[in-house]
Amino acid sequence: MNSPLRTKLLEYGREVIELELSEAKKLPARLDHNFIQACELMLTTKGKVIVSGIGKSGHIGKKIAASLASTGTPSFFMHLTEALHGDLGMVSETDIIILISYSGQANEFNYILPILKDKGIPIIAITGKKTSPLARAAKAVLDVSIEREACPMGLAPTSSSTNTLLMGDALAITVMRAKNFNEEDFARSHPAGSLGAKLLNRVKDIMRTGELIPKIPENATVFDAMLELSRTGLGLVIICNTDRHIKGVFTDGDLRRLLLKDGTLNDPIIQVMTTPGYRLPENWKAIEALKSFNDYNITAAPVVDQNDCLVGAINIHDLHQAGIS
C-alpha cells in the first residue's frame, strides 16, 4: 500500500467522524418541550415502549429498544413491515410507540398511522422532517435533522443515523435517571454479567454447605482439626457445639504456628483456637464479603444465619470463582 493512499484513508476516516460530530453537536439545542413530553409518556405508560422502523432506522431502533429494556423501561423492537403482517397484534392500548424514519414518509405509515390513532396509542416520532406525515401524527417529535450526511454522495445514512442513535440514548438514560434506576436494578437485567455477580449474589448463594463445611466439636483435638482442614481444603475449620453455635475457628496458618511453637497434634482444640472467630452473615452481598476479607486480611470465614447459627463456610477463592473481584 503506497503512502499517498494511506494518507487518503486517514483523511477520509477523519472527515466522516468530524462531519458526524459536527451534526451531533446541534442536537442538544433541539431538546425542547417535545423531548419532555416524550419522556413523560415513557415514564407514565402502564404498558411497554415499542420501537419500530425500517432499513437503517430499524437497525438503530433495535439498539434503542435494547437500551431502554436494560435501563428499566420495558421495551421491544417491532419491524415496521412485520407490524403490517400480524405483529401489530403485540401492541396494546396501554403501550406507546417510537417510530423512527428520517423522511417520515415511508409507505408503511399510510397503513399503520391510522390504526395507531384508532387504538389511541401515543406516537413518539424520531425524524428529520418535522412536517412529514409521521411528525403530524405524533404527540412528540424529536428532531434529528442534518445538513449533510458523511457519505459524500449523501445517500448512505451516516450523520442522520448517528443523530438517531444519540437521541435514543438521550431518551433511555434520561428516563432511567428520572426513575432513580440504580446499579442493582441494572444488574437484575444483566444477571449473568460481572456486575450481576457483584450486586446480586449473596453469601448464601456461594457458600459451602452440608458436608463441605469444615467443622469439628468442642472436644476435638488439633489432629482432628488437621484432618478436617485436609478434607475440605477451605483453609479453616470451625469449632461449634451441638446447637451449631460457633465457639471458635482454627486455620491452617494457626496449625503451622502451633507446631513451630512445640505444640502437638494431641492438644485440645479448645485451648488453641481463635475465639470468638470472625463470621459472615448469610444475607450479606458477596461483594461485601470480599471487602470484609480484604479489610480484615483473612481468606475464609464461617457463615451464620440471623440466629448466629452455623449454616455454611466460604473462602476468597469461592468468591473469585463466582465472578466477585
Q: Is residue 141 within 8 Å of residue 33, measured between CB atoms?
A: no
The enclosing domain of 231 has a CATH number of 3.10.580.10
Kindly state whether residue 245 falls inside one of the protein's structural domains. Answer: yes
The string of pLDDT tens digits covering residues 72-124 is 899 999 998 888 887 888 889 999 999 999 999 988 888 899 999 998 999 99
Kindly state whether residue 226 falls inside one of the protein's structural domains. Answer: yes
The string of pLDDT tens digits covering residues 164-186 is 999 999 999 999 999 887 666 56
What is the band of 189 on the pLDDT scale with cuts at 50, 70, 90?
Answer: low
Query: Which comes out higher in pLDDT, residue 137 or 199?
Result: 137
Kindly state whether residue 188 falls inside one of the protein's structural domains. Answer: no
168 with 212, same domain: the answer is no
42 with 103, same domain: the answer is yes
The predicted pLDDT at position 4 comes to 86
What is the band of 62 on the pLDDT scale with cuts at 50, 70, 90?
Answer: very high
Show which of 181, 212, 243 is a domain's final residue. 181
What is the band of 286 on the pLDDT scale with cuts at 50, 70, 90?
Answer: confident
Show which of 147, 181, 215 is a domain's final residue. 181
CA separation for the pair 14, 313 (Å, rounded)? 57
Grid cell listed for 239 = 469449632
Grid cell listed for 1 = 500500500
Kindly state whether residue 215 falls inside one of the protein's structural domains. Answer: yes
66 with 111, same domain: the answer is yes
Q: How far apart are the first and last CA of the chain?
A: 45
What is the band of 201 on the pLDDT scale with cuts at 50, 70, 90?
Answer: confident
Kindly state whether residue 157 falls inside one of the protein's structural domains. Answer: yes
32 with 148, same domain: the answer is yes
Most confident of 40-49, 179-188, 195-204, 315-324: 40-49
Grid cell listed for 103 = 423522511
Q: Which of 216, 235, 233, 234 is nearest to 225 (CA)?
A: 216
Q: Is residue 126 within 8 Å of residue 99, measured between CB atoms?
A: yes
Look at residue 199 and tell me whether its pLDDT is greater than 70.
Answer: no
The predicted pLDDT at position 261 comes to 87
Look at residue 193 and tell me whether its pLDDT is greater than 60.
Answer: no
168 with 220, same domain: the answer is no
The dihedral formed by the CA atoms of 106, 108, 114 and 116, expressed in degrees to the nearest 10: -100
225 with 176, same domain: the answer is no
CA separation for the pair 1, 220 (Å, rounded)? 77
165 with 37, same domain: the answer is yes
Please name the residues in contact with 97: beta carbons below 8 A apart, sequence gap of 6 or more: 49, 50, 51, 52, 91, 116, 121, 122, 123, 124
Kindly state whether residue 190 falls inside one of the protein's structural domains. Answer: no
Look at residue 297 and tell me whether its pLDDT is greater than 80.
Answer: yes
Most confident of 80-84, 138-142, 239-243: 138-142
Kindly state whether residue 7 falls inside one of the protein's structural domains. Answer: yes
Look at residue 292 and tell me whether its pLDDT is greater than 70.
Answer: yes
158 with 222, same domain: the answer is no
Look at residue 187 and tell me whether its pLDDT is greater than 60.
Answer: no
Q: Would the CA dihedral through 47, 71, 30, 17 be positive or negative?
A: negative
Residue with cell 473462602: 315
Q: What is the pLDDT of the chain when averaged over all its residues?
A: 89
The enclosing domain of 101 has a CATH number of 3.40.50.10490
**HSE value, Cβ hemisphere, 13 Å, CA-based, for 249:** 21
The predicted pLDDT at position 215 comes to 93
Grid cell listed for 316 = 476468597
Look at residue 190 and tell me whether its pLDDT is greater than 70.
Answer: no
Q: Can you list the alpha helix ranges (DSSP code H) found in the chain?
A: 3-24, 33-44, 56-70, 80-83, 109-119, 133-137, 159-178, 183-189, 194-200, 203-206, 222-232, 252-260, 269-272, 286-296, 316-321
36 with 143, same domain: the answer is yes
Task: Report the percentage of the chain scoring pLDDT > 70.
Answer: 94
Q: Which domain holds residue 86?
A: 3-181
Farthest CA pair distance, the chain? 92
Q: Which of 80-89, 183-192, 279-288 comes out lowest in average pLDDT?
A: 183-192
CA separation for the pair 182, 80 (Å, rounded)? 32
The predicted pLDDT at position 183 comes to 66
Kindly state whether residue 234 falls inside one of the protein's structural domains. Answer: yes
Average pLDDT over residues 238-254: 90
